[in-house]
Amino acid sequence: MTDQRDENSSLLMPRFAGGNSRSSGVSTLLETIWHRVMPELVATRLAWLMLLAVALLCTASLMAVRICGRGLMVRQEIHILVGAAILLLLLTVNYRKLGYLAYGFFIFTTLLLIAVRFARPIKGSHRWFIIPGGIDLQPSELAKISFVMSVAWCLRMHKDMRQLNKLILPFIFAIIPMSLILIEPDLGTALLFPVVLYAMLIAAGAKFRHLLAIALIAMAVAPGCYPLLKPYQKQRIVALFVHGKPTHRQLSGELYQKRQSEIAEGSGGLTGQGLAGTVEIRHGLLPEASNDFIFAVVGSQWGFAGAIGIVVLYLIFFASCMETAGEAADSFGRLLVVGLSCMLILQAVINIAMTTGIIPVVGITLPFMSYGGSAMLADMLAMSLILNVAMRGRRMIPGSRERPAARG
């Protein structure tokens, strides 16, 4: 039966003329994806649930970005296609082999975070490299992935995490990129690191009292960091907690994005105003509509029902990730999925809370939806690693009808 399946799939698989080594290499890679990756994806129920959720999120992204500019939509399509190609490429390599590259990847992204300090500032921040061809590379997006991979690879070696000294190295992995990202400045991205680290340490079995003591110390020190914030960050925090009617200066300053986002979402009503969206979106009255405030665009297009639909897709994705982590056969795979899925879902929670006015505007993307090549690339890298564990890292569960995962 297997031979027949392979024969049929080989008939469907496009063949390249092996005129030179390059075409032969491409042909070999495509055959590997077709014969090894695709059958594993087909046989993995959780992988299809995650892929379906992400595909629908990417589709919603394209419809939302289209309002902000047809050119942006074309670029976003390219971002998604490139990300999907890299996803399939990485699925040809076992995630355990990729783990050996974790520390090297961490060093590489750390050097990029240092180097970006000397790059030309954009909008007052040193966050991006401008690559010839009009491509912007944001190192902090790659740093999130390398951080999770390094912590997971580090924690896999410790069977007992109940000793305080074993927490030192994981915290170093978090503090280095977090500090470099804070001085860019990028407060929203930096805040992800400690929360994701705690989730991974809890999954690794660290003592609760150790983690609580460290958290209390951090909370005691946090107010002392307030003077280090940029003026606009202080204004947003103060504006959130100041009650009463906002002043005209606030509405045209630190509360402008928050106010325009709420207007766009509220004008969508229950079912939205369709693909055309609202006046605030069409006329560019909402800054960063295609990026940090893409959820407000969805609210204006599809209303409350559409916004709830997006939230449900994230819940499906997260639940599938947690089930994948629970079925992982090794600690590295389990911690990798916990870290990456918590990173993505935390981003979604912060972004949605920001656009709906629950928390201050911190500038963080919505996974698989916000416009941007670096963000989409990082999201697809995370998705590839999670799928890799789902395909190859499952334990044999009694009564399961799924065939054993491949180890290659």
DSSP codes of every residue in 153-182:
HHHTT-S---SGGGGHHHHHHHHHHHHHHH
Whole-number percent of the chain with pLDDT over 90: 36
Top pLDDT among 221 and 100 is at: 100
Mean pLDDT of the residues in the chain = 80
Q: Is 305 helix (H, G, I), strand (E, B) or coil?
A: helix
Instruction: Tell me what pLDDT residue 235 has.
Output: 66
Average pLDDT of the residues in 143-150: 96
DSSP alpha helices (H): ranges in 268-408? 279-282, 294-327, 331-355, 373-392
Helices (H) and strands (E) in the chain, counts: 19, 2
Token pair for 279: 């006046």
pLDDT at 398: 46
Query: Is the distance from CB of 282 to CB of 70 less than 8 angstroms?
Result: no
Q: Is the pLDDT of residue 247 over 60?
A: no
Instruction: Write down the pLDDT at residue 380.
Output: 94
Query: At residue 391, does pLDDT exceed 60?
Result: yes
Under the banding of pLDDT at 50, 70 and 90, the label for residue 361 is confident
Q: pLDDT tens for residues 196-241?
A: 999 999 988 888 888 888 888 888 877 776 666 777 666 666 655 5
The DSSP output letter for 328 is B
Map out the domains of the chain as residue ranges: 40-392
Backbone dihedral angles phi then psi of residue 312, each to the nearest 5 degrees: -65, -40
Given this model, what pLDDT does residue 261 score?
A: 79
pLDDT of 13 reads: 46
Strand partners for 120 = none
pLDDT computed for residue 3 by the predictor: 46
